[in-house]
Amino acid sequence: MGSAFVPAQDGAAVSGDDLAGVIASVRGSGPLVHCLTNVVVSQFTANVLLAVGAAPAMVHSAEEAGALARVAGGVLVNLGTVTSVTAAAMRVAVKEAAGGGRPWVLDPVAVGPLPWRTGLAHELLESAPPAVVRGNPSEILALDGGAGGRGVDSTDVPEAALDAATGLARRYGCVVAVSGPEDVLTDGARVVRVANGHPLLPLVTGTGCALGALVAACVAVTGDALVAAAAATGLLTVAAEVAAVRSAGPGTFAVALIDELYALSPERLAGAVNLR
Amino acid sequence: MGSAFVPAQDGAAVSGDDLAGVIASVRGSGPLVHCLTNVVVSQFTANVLLAVGAAPAMVHSAEEAGALARVAGGVLVNLGTVTSVTAAAMRVAVKEAAGGGRPWVLDPVAVGPLPWRTGLAHELLESAPPAVVRGNPSEILALDGGAGGRGVDSTDVPEAALDAATGLARRYGCVVAVSGPEDVLTDGARVVRVANGHPLLPLVTGTGCALGALVAACVAVTGDALVAAAAATGLLTVAAEVAAVRSAGPGTFAVALIDELYALSPERLAGAVNLR
Amino acid sequence: MGSAFVPAQDGAAVSGDDLAGVIASVRGSGPLVHCLTNVVVSQFTANVLLAVGAAPAMVHSAEEAGALARVAGGVLVNLGTVTSVTAAAMRVAVKEAAGGGRPWVLDPVAVGPLPWRTGLAHELLESAPPAVVRGNPSEILALDGGAGGRGVDSTDVPEAALDAATGLARRYGCVVAVSGPEDVLTDGARVVRVANGHPLLPLVTGTGCALGALVAACVAVTGDALVAAAAATGLLTVAAEVAAVRSAGPGTFAVALIDELYALSPERLAGAVNLR
């Protein structure tokens, strides 16, 4: 009772082999990932999904989003450039995903300082619990009722949002993944941290949003959403480390990142990911 | 009468020199291509058109799409992320393109499993015959009344859609171009196959959609829509072969593809394209 | 009285050191730039802003655009793919930016041949004076009441639009930046020309639109909008010169341009920019 914070376990809650299994399964089965995402990152998101073997489908209309969500392997709802038109599609998609037993992932971009989308995020969460919520620390704090940041960038570190993440995870029975220099993920009981990545990652638009899409691809192939979110996080951040080696700046890095997501084997991921 | 399938001729229905002439004309005249396309591929499509010397214009509002379609060299309608807002613009654009004697190209993305856009595609086809329909086998089969695939990817080979393509071509007096490892194109009488390309092409989002835009650029400069569609197909697939040589994965490939579309001369295209 | 054209001064109206100071300030303070821009260039625009140290935020809904515009460092309104939905957001954003004392920048894409957006551009200009209008010569001529071009490309040279630019600058008390092989900028009294750049720039979609976003980043950190617009123009065009050296075509150039925008120091900019 009270502030029931669950500390990290001595051994990591998930293993590199767990992650490798998820990525092998994504590459092997090519899950259909229905993305209701923002217009800034749509191309990059689709290319990231294709690189890892998933099949992206971007359908944004209320007339169609439900039919697709009902048959998709996973559904991503990203609030980045939501308007009244796409919000209607998101409502339908979440409802039909739930009706069809399909996992959905919420990326609450810029929730906090913008009241309209904050209300929409809560409305979606209440309509059907997501498998995973992925955001930066400010967004997770705001979603839990705290003060928000100024938008898509975040001034807080993930660890500062762990209490909020745990609260959200327990309220909705979902996993919450908080992105940052060291990602922190929890299902409300277990906590896992992924200490990979590179400073160029936040200098490329859509890397966080693409992580949300990767999570949606991973929850399509495993019932353990914490392992799925950790697998997506490990894959993106390890690929980023490899890509950075052959990059001259954020332009070449974004291109190399797609190459490395395509090339990274499950075995190499298991060896390189730094979990705790 | 009956199933009047027209087989491929002994010599290819079009020649490499025919294709080279179209590409030279595009590079020389810089046709204005009005794209009503999806938000995922808009940037890539515009860069592909600029690389080959065409002038892309993306205008999506019902208030303006008609005025632009009436003066464009060619109009592309791609249903990828269509909503009620952009559907209204598409209806106006197709009507005004027809009124102005401008060719239009339909890319029926994900037609089949999604009834709303399938109805829209038929409505547009009935309102004014297109110059070319370009799609993957599942989309062409679905447009002809068959069972559809699961979205933008396709599980059928182009040859399996040739009967459907022929039927559509005759019904609307248009060319139908079916994309795949070997592209199959027909105007309902002649059939041409383009056997170029690379396995990395479908791993980059928007390569098929950009092909639709290239077709719209090519129909702007020639009255023979079969030659136009073959020229666009040959240009993209030969450039892909060259680009793949200097690519480490789908990221670098997408970038190199733009370079090679810019560099590929009509003469080199004529020498490298594999028509039958 | 009469045609009060103000000629360029013997020394340039602004100096390379002025520009360097603005860029250093952008990199140091990371201004939040609220972009209401078109779907074709959103990703590229965001990556350009991130590369120079600014914080892009793309929010397109009427429900939210006002709240963000009121707190942003600068607001960009780009009419490229405007629809009735995003036009409503633009009206709110301009009004709230003015209410909050935040500078806004207009990029009147394709104004002239398209009456609806031409009316919208004038409506926005009348509702609150912008800090800067950035366009190609055809757009500036059309905005001043002249005949327009055929869309986003321009057949006029910037110098031919100087009278129109001067007229607009005086009418709205703003700076007008005319893009081309040699950019011409004026606040209605001073005139500055930036003679940098590369022929590959117009072959990459969104370089002009990204310049508008860079201008919005620069007006966020200085009260002298002419210096801000010149700084943005110098930064993009000098980076383009460096990027072109290591490019094989427009694909690799677009990627290298992001790298060079990230790497270019204020000092190097001051040394390489060609002002007159």
Per-residue pLDDT of C127-173, as tens digits, reads 999 999 999 999 999 999 865 444 445 567 999 999 999 999 999 99
pLDDT of residue A10: 46
pLDDT digits 0-9 by tens, B128-159 = 999 999 999 999 999 998 654 444 455 679 99
Query: Considering only alpha carbons, which residue of chain B is nearest residue A51?
Result: B203
Residue B2 has pLDDT above 70, yes or no: no
CA distance A55 to C238: 40
Tokens at A84, concatenated: 């009244």
- CA A126 to each of CA A135, A224, C99: distance values in angstroms, whole numbers, following the listed order: 18, 21, 36
Contacts of A43 in chain B (CB under 8 A): 40-44, 205-206
pLDDT digits 0-9 by tens, A186-241 = 999 999 999 999 999 999 999 999 999 999 999 999 999 999 999 999 999 999 99
- Give the pLDDT band (50/70/90) at residue B92: very high
- Give the pLDDT band (50/70/90) at residue A12: confident
Are A113 and C32 within 8 A, CB to CB?
Answer: no
Contacts of A116 in chain C (CB under 8 A): 61, 63-64
CA distance B257 to B48: 9
Cβ of residue B38 closer than 8 Å to a chain A Cβ: yes
- Give the pLDDT band (50/70/90) at residue C40: very high
Residue B126 has pLDDT above 70, yes or no: yes
- Give the pLDDT band (50/70/90) at residue C8: very low
pLDDT of residue B147: 52
Q: For the residues A101-123, what does the mean pLDDT come to?
A: 97
pLDDT of residue C155: 64
Residue B204 has pLDDT above 80, yes or no: yes
pLDDT of residue C96: 98
Q: For the residues C180-196, what does the mean pLDDT come to?
A: 97
Please tell me which of the candidates A58, A71, A259 has its beta carbon nearest to residue B250: A259
Residue B9 has pLDDT above 50, yes or no: no
**Nearest partner of B231 among B189, B198, B187, B185, judged by Cα:** B185
Would you give the DSSP letter of residue B192?
E
Contacts of C51 in chain A (CB under 8 A): 203, 249-251
pLDDT of residue A156: 79
Contacts of C39 in chain A (CB under 8 A): 39
Q: Residue type at A103? A: P
- Give the pLDDT band (50/70/90) at residue A145: confident
pLDDT of residue A146: 66
Residue A152 has pLDDT above 60, yes or no: no
- Give the pLDDT band (50/70/90) at residue A3: very low
C-beta of residue B172 within 8 angstroms of C-beta of residue B265:
no
Please tell me which of the candidates A81, A117, A251 has its beta carbon nearest to residue C258: A251
Question: What mean pLDDT is reported for chain A?
Answer: 93
**Nearest partner of B140 among B120, B166, B114, B115, judged by Cα:** B166
Chain B nearest CA to C244, separation (Å): 13
Q: For the residues C182-195, what does the mean pLDDT come to?
A: 98
ipTM, 2 decimals? 0.93
Cβ of residue B85 closer than 8 Å to a chain A Cβ: yes
pLDDT of residue A155: 64
- Give the pLDDT band (50/70/90) at residue B10: very low
Residue C6 has pLDDT above 60, yes or no: no
Residue B247 has pLDDT above 50, yes or no: yes
Q: In this prediction, what percent of chain A has a pLDDT beyond 90?
A: 91
pLDDT of residue A4: 39
More confident residue, B10 or A132: A132
CA distance C172 to B167: 59
Q: For the residues B259-273, what does the mean pLDDT come to?
A: 98
Chain A nearest CA to C143, separation (Å): 28
CA distance C149 to C165: 16
Q: In this prediction, what percent of chain C has a pLDDT beyond 70?
A: 92
Chain B nearest CA to C4, separation (Å): 36
Contacts with C115 (C-beta within 8 Å, 6 or more apart), sequence order:
B67
Q: What is the pTM of this model?
A: 0.94
